[in-house]
């Protein structure tokens, strides 16, 4: 099969580097363009990134000689899909320009997430949301990922909502520094410390789950109607967002039924055997002190959401812990999986 030509927008950033890593030798995609800001344009990726590559392993050979360009359709002709890891200050207008030029955009930025006919696609959770793409007026379509904190949360909630109904939830996040991009939070602010504020994060965390878990009606996504509250915190962890969550369900169930629901959960990516799909989207750890970022983050190559500590909650019904990899399942990995899904469904 001929590979689909793709570009990475924001290829030098935290999320962009993950795209570069995950798209090496990909079965469906060939990276032909890498884009970033003016400070990076015109330089070979390998040279430019020598001191900026922040993930383990070397910069893959296949990108070393690609010259970085600006994220403009005229500079990246021939690409059919762009993966966007652009800073939100620029992502909105750039992604719109690509869609207008007929290029599909798989975005990690917040800018288009709350537009009613733009899906916040989570391939295992809401593949039916792709139906709204036909109502976007541009020849290229925009698909977004949710905020990285919410990604693992919505995956954990999906089987509970389908089987038992969801009434309300409360969450408290402990978010890794890589979630702020590079250089991100100054080391003097975060070492040996916790910062109980992440600009804009709680608003996103309180709006996106309802849309992600919503239903499609008349070409628009109608958000699910549960109430929720989020406290978001930055903690001195490099990768991996941990969320402590309490939930009230519509149906009375016992812990065995909940754990069974998680263990049995599979989505379309698993049924279709998509290249980036983990065998299990959710793993539940029985040990009383798991999940932990150091031990559990790379479960399923960083694509599995790891849960633990399910127990009764004296205020709501149940409480548990969610761990997900913020730049893999929470960003680049989920975006690649979304792109695999649209290719598999013949949407491009
Ligand atoms: P980052 O490390 O700061 O990277 C930002 C990227 O955008 C860099 O490649 C940068 O290029 C490029 N850029 C910035 N200003 C630009 C401009 N004016 N023109 C063209 N390119 C420009 O940020 P990140 O953490 O990767 O996040 C990228 C996006 O993904 C953000 O919208 C973020 O909210 C979202 N996101 C991040 C995570 C995460 O865990 N980090 C998870 C989910 C979603 P230069 O290097 O040349 O400046």
**pLDDT tens-place string over residues 42-60:** 999 999 999 999 998 999 9
Q: Among this protein's residues, is 212 annotated catalytic?
A: no
pLDDT at 199 over 80: yes
User: What whole-number distance in Å separates Cα of residue 280 and Cα of residue 201?
Assistant: 28
Cβ atoms of 199 and 185 within 8 Å: the answer is no
Atom of ligand 1 nearest to the CA of 14: 26
- CATH (domain of 227): 3.30.360.10
Considering the domain architecture, whether residues 178 and 243 belong to the same structural domain is answered as yes
Give the per-residue pLDDT at 101.
Answer: 98
Which residue do the tokens 């100054």 mark?
Answer: 186
Tell whether the model's pLDDT for residue 201 goes beyond 90.
yes
The active-site residue out of 35, 148, 212, 232 is 148
**Distance (Å) from CA 309 to ligand 1 centroid:** 34
pLDDT of 343 > 90? The answer is yes
pLDDT the model gives residue 337: 98
As a whole number, mean pLDDT of residues 165-189 equals 96
Q: Around 92, how many Cα atoms within 13 Å sit in the side-chain half-sphere?
A: 8
**pLDDT value at position 31?**
98
Known catalytic membership, residue 241: yes
- One domain, residues 141 and 232: no
Residue 175's pLDDT is what? 98
- Of all protein residues, the one whose alpha carbon is nearest to atom 6 of ligand 1 is 10
Pairing of strands 81-84, 4-9: parallel
Residue 315 and residue 337 in one domain:
no
For ligand 1, is residue 39 a contact (CB within 6 Å)?
A: yes
Across the range 289-316, mean pLDDT stands at 98
What is the distance of C-alpha 283 from the center of its chain? 18
Cα(94)–Cα(38) distance, rounded to whole angstroms? Answer: 14
Cβ of 154 below 6 Å from ligand 1:
no
Nearest Cα residue to atom 34 of ligand 1? 109
Minimum CA distance residue for ligand 1 atom 17: 37
Do residues 71 and 167 share a domain?
Answer: no
The reported pLDDT for the residue numbered 219 is 86
Contact 120, 212 (CB under 8 A): yes
How much of the chain exceeds pLDDT 70, in percent?
A: 100
Alpha-carbon gap, residue 22 to 330, rounded angstroms: 13
pTM of the model: 0.98
Answer yes or no: do 128 and 165 share one domain.
no
Q: Is the pLDDT of residue 1 over 90?
A: no
Q: What is the mean pLDDT of residues 187-203?
A: 97
Nearest residue to 338 via CA among 31, 34, 25, 127: 127
Whether 174 has a pLDDT exceeding 80, the answer reads yes
pLDDT reading at 216 higher than 90: yes
> What CATH number does the domain containing 10 carry?
3.40.50.720
- In this prediction, residue 348 has a pLDDT band, given cuts at 50, 70 and 90, of confident
**Average pLDDT estimate for 21-26:** 98
Judgement on whether residues 185 and 314 belong to the same structural domain of the protein:
yes
- Please tell me whether residues 20 and 57 are part of one structural domain: yes
Q: What is the pLDDT of residue 123?
A: 98
First to last CA, the chain: 14
DSSP E strands in 93-239: the ranges are: 104-107, 142-144, 166-174, 215-217, 220-222, 227-231
The pLDDT confidence band at residue 347, using thresholds 50, 70 and 90, is confident
Instruction: Report phi then psi at 96, rounded to 5.
Output: -60, -40
Query: Does 161 share its domain with 300?
Result: yes
Same domain, 66 and 201: no
Cα(86) to centroid(ligand 1), Å: 4
Work out how many domains the chain is built from and give that number: 2
* Average pLDDT estimate for 237-266: 98
| Helix H or strand E segment including 259 | helix 255-264
Residues 32, 158 within the same domain: no
284 shares a domain with 178: yes
Cβ(240) – ligand 1 distance below 6 Å: no
State the pLDDT at residue 281. 98
Catalytic residue among 104, 129, 241, 325, which? 241
Residue 175 and residue 105 share a domain: no
For 51, the domain range is 4-147+331-344
């Amino acid at each position: 099969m001929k590979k689909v030509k793709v570009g990475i927008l924001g290829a030098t950033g935290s999320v962009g580097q993950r795209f570069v890593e995950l798209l090496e030798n990909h079965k469906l995609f060939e990276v032909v363009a890498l884009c970033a800001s003016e400070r990076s344009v015109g330089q070979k990726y390998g040279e430019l990134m020598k001191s900026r590559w922040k993930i383990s392993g070397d910069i893959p050979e296949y990108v070393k000689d690609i010259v970085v360009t600006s994220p403009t359709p005229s500079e990246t002709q021939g690409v059919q899909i762009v993966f966007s890891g652009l800073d939100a200050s620029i992502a909105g207008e750039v992604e719109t320009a690509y869609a207008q030029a007929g290029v599909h955009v798989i975005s990690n930025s917040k800018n288009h997430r709350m537009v009613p006919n733009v899906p916040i696609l989570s391939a295992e959770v809401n593949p039916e949301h792709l139906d709204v793409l036909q109502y976007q007026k541009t020849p290229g379509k925009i698909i977004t990922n949710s905020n990285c904190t919410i990604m693992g949360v919505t995956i954990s909630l999906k089987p509970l909502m389908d089987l038992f109904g969801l009434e309300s939830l409360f969450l408290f996040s402990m978010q890794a520094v890589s979630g702020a991009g590079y250089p991100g939070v100054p080391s003097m602010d975060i070492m040996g410390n916790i910062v109980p504020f992440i600009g804009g994060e709680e608003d996103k965390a309180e709006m996106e789950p309802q849309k992600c878990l919503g239903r499609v009606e008349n070409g628009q996504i109608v958000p699910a109607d549960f109430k929720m509250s989020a406290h978001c915190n930055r903690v001195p962890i490099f990768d991996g967002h941990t969320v402590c969550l309490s939930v009230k369900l519509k149906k009375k169930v016992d812990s065995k039924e909940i754990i069974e629901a998680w263990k049995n959960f599979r989505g379309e990516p698993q049924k279709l055997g998509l290249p980036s799909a983990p065998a299990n989207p959710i793993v539940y750890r029985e040990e009383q002190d798991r999940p932990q970022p150091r031990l559990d983050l790379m479960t399923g190559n960083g694509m599995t959401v790891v849960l633990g500590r399910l127990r009764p909650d004296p205020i709501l019904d149940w409480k548990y812990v969610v761990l997900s990899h913020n730049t893999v399942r929470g960003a680049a990995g989920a975006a690649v999986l979304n792109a695999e899904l649209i290719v598999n469904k013949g949407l491009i």
